[in-house]
Structure 1
Amino acid sequence: MSQHTVIKTSDDMQGKRVPNVIFRVRENDEWTNISSDDLFKGKTVVVFSLPGAFTPTCSSTHLPRYNELANTFTANGVDSIVCMSVNDTFVMNAWKQDQEADNITVIPDGNGEFTAGMGMLVGKEDLGFGKRSWRYSMLVKDGVVTKMFVEPDVPGDPFEVSDADTMLDFINPQARKPSSVALLSKPGCPYCVRAKALLQDKGIAYEEIVLGKDATSVSVKAISGRATVPQVFFDGKLIGGSEELAEFLAND
């Protein structure tokens, strides 16, 4: 069980203003201050808060999915997505760069002031973490919490309701989510260039796995059952090479 006195429930905070805090951040090798008003005043903001940068669930799922769905959130009226953690600004900046999370604003609540004001500061001394944030997400409009998803108070690090899909479904259950697209390629392959151009022309984000860098020809055959590249996947389904991709996109 997490070491804490009381974690506030979503009902405790909904309809209330977020804490008024000044965050010390490092931007372009200089110190600067960002206030709660800078983040929230006159804006619709999605916040997700987590125990720590570089930790497993935060790095593998929580942050990446919010980053992946950022354009969909924008299309549904969200001005920005903020990731909050009780870490220092150097750690948060390094984590954002490592995750290539360009669509996310990372905010270091290094002293835990914002998190404590939200009633979400918990003890993680058993892990050597000290005080950290309980995992939650919230929708904030002009500084007022309109919806919160707080993870259940159970042992460990639950991750059931603060995910990006749950938040997006609350904002708009009919929102069309982008496909997860992967492209297996190799340097100097003209068909790979064509496949990437087809995806880019459609505005489709994709993750490229490059032979010789990220994988080998053995991996291509093991994953796709084929020996040639490119091989394109949409939501786990093999589409095929550039010709098959062109046909698929034409019929989509």
Structure 2
Amino acid sequence: MLENREGQRVPTVTFKTRQQGEWVDVKSDDIFAGKTVVVFSLPGAFTPTCSSAHVPRYNELAPVLKENGVDEVVCISVNDTFVMNEWAKEQKADRITFLPDGNGEFTEGMGMLVDKDDLGFGKRSWRYSMLVKDGVIEKMFIEPQKPGDPFEVSDADTMLAHINPNAKKPHDVMLFTRAGCPFCARAKGMLHERGMDFEEVTVGDSVSVRAVRAATGADSVPQIFVDGQLIGGSDELAEWLSAREAA
């Protein structure tokens, strides 16, 4: 049985990290002392759920977590620092601190070290998240112990809801654009001015006008979606932003 360690201190260990080509020892106190920290731990870098959902959503919500009193968002995995550094780059997750628990010392101290021998992983971390204040665990979300790789409670949205159930989350914004399109540049500029993140899909070799037409009913770009709703082009985006700011 995996133990919920709320009210206890985090393990005292030294994380062996590689920064700017040099070895840097990072101690537990460097991360936790005097700070409010959200930690999420997972089975392994580059693995499917960790890469497609766990890390991206924490990276997306990191600014909101920080607006609500969190000093740092930390991802811990039983991987070496070279793997963790490359994974952070691949994920473009620059809002998260990646800590390598290569020997599993922190994870073992948390009571979360489990066998993944059936997958050829050896010892790895069970998936969990926790809110830590000045080195003391205030809240833990531990995935249920059942076969496979459950991902039900350690996600970023659950953590944010615990910290502030009324926190305002960022909109999900996606744009179809084309290189050299001035209206596309205008739309992106409006979003940048307001600090709104967005995903951009460029019409070209891999995405055709037919795909844009199938998704939006229009041949022109940009075409902007917000939270799954088609807004339209740059003029419609300007109207939507004005209405949002006036509300």
Quickly name the TM-score band, shorter chain normalised: over 0.9
Q: Provide the secondary structure at the position in 1 that maps to 2:159.
A: helix
1:77 and 1:107 map into 2 onto residues whose CA distance is 21
Gaps of 5+ in 1: 1-5
Which of 5, 18, 21 pairs up with 2:10? 18
* Distance apart, 1:184 and its partner CA: 1.1
Partner of 1:78: 70
- The reply on whether 1:7 has 2:2 as its aligned counterpart is yes
Which SS does the other structure have where 1:170 is aligned?
helix
- C-alpha deviation, 1:211, in angstroms: 1.8
Cα RMSD (Å) of the superposition? 1.0
Residue in structure 2 matched with residue 58 of structure 1 by the alignment? 50
For the pair 1:204 / 2:196, whether they are aligned, the reply is yes
Partners of 1:216 and 1:118 in 2: how far apart? Answer: 50
What secondary structure sits across from 2:145 in the alignment?
Answer: coil
Per the normalisation by structure 2, the TM-score is: 0.97
Deviations 1:29-53 (A, max 9, x none): 1111111011101100000000001
Matches within 5 A, 1:75-154: 75-154=67-146
Give the TM-score, by structure 1 length.
0.95
Residue of structure 2 in register with 1:3 after alignment: none
Distance 1:105 1:200 in 2: 24
Could you tell me which residue of structure 1 aligns to residue 39 of structure 2? 47
Which deviates the most, 166-175 or 202-211? 202-211
1:230: which partner in 2? 222
- For residues 131-185 of structure 1, give each alpha carbon's deviation from its aligned partner in whole angstroms, at most 9, with x where no partner exists: 0000000000000000000000001000000000000000000000011111111
Greater than 3 Å deviation, 4+ residue runs: none
Note closer, same or farther for the CA distance 1:214–1:37 as it changes in structure 2 (3 Å cut).
farther
Map of 1:68 onto structure 2: 60
* Percent identical: 63
Secondary structure of residue in 2 paired with 1:33: strand
Deviation at 1:214, TM superposition (A): 5.6
Residues 194-223 of structure 1 show CA distances to partners (whole Å, capped at 9, x for unaligned) of: 000111112211111112266222222222
In structure 1, how many angstroms separate the alpha carbons of the residues matched to 2:120 and 2:216?
43
CA distance in 1, matches of 2:111, 2:209: 51
CA distance in 1, matches of 2:29, 2:96: 18
Cα 1:131–1:161 change in 2 (3 A) is: same
Distance 1:217 1:98 in 2: 29
What secondary structure, in the 3-state scheme, does the structure 2 residue paired with 1:74 have? helix
Q: Secondary structure at 1:251's aligned position in 2?
A: helix
> SS state of the match for residue 69, structure 1?
helix
Structure 1 pair 128/174, CA: closer, same or farther in 2 (3 Å)? same
- 1:213-228 aligned at under 5 Å gives the runs 215-228=207-220
